[in-house]
Amino acid sequence: MPKQIKKKELTGAEKLGCAFVIAAMGLGLVFTVAFIIFIPSIDSDSESVQQVKSIALGAGYVLFTLAAIASGILCLRAYRRSDQGGDMMRSFFSFLSAFMTLLCVRFMLALFFSGLGETETVKKIVGDNTYSEFIKNQGASFACLVIGLSVMLIAGVTAIIKLAKR
């Protein structure tokens, strides 16, 4: 009769790291859905609706970025304790996702303050261009945001697989 190979139990640090990666992935998916729903109509509704949408997008952006940084730190801590390569990969992907979303902070600040009606602040952020020109020229920032969200999706799927296998 063949011997049964026991799978190594996950440590608390590994479970916590995976849980934060999954939470960051969930926040990223919620932020993506909100971004797709709110952006086309952020300038067309009443002022109070614009403010709510701007605050929701700003909060989603900040929460996702902070969750990505936290999951990167926790996965790095789990890697140092368990020496599992998957934890290092999730940590790298989390930090990469946070970095990519931080690259588009100017774009998000312009959207946030525009929705709040703070025209002077928007003029400072936009610079010499008009707001509409600035938004049209933010393809690279939008691409960074999409890449950051996609990378976190990959890290989240690997965390789900790790927790499901053990």
Mean of pLDDT values over 84-97: 92
Does residue 45 carry a pLDDT above 60?
no
pLDDT reading at 108 higher than 60: yes
| pLDDT attached to residue 157 | 94
Q: How far apart are the first and last CA of the chain?
A: 24
Given a cut of 90, whether residue 119 has pLDDT beyond it is: no
Under the banding of pLDDT at 50, 70 and 90, the label for residue 43 is low
Helix axes 139-165, 12-38, angle to 10 degrees: 140
Per the CB < 8 A criterion, the answer to whether 15 and 163 are in contact is yes
* CB environment 18-51: b (16+ within 10 A), e (fewer): bebbbbbbebbeebbebbeebeeebeeeeeeebe
Question: How sure is the predictor about 25, in pLDDT bands with cuts at 50, 70 and 90?
Answer: very high
Percentage of residues of the chain with pLDDT beyond 90: 42
CA 140 to chain centroid, in Å, comes to: 16
Mean pLDDT of the chain: 87
Residue 39 has pLDDT above 80, yes or no: no
Structure-model confidence comparison of residues 50 and 155, the more confident one = 155
Instruction: Quote the pLDDT of residue 79.
Output: 92
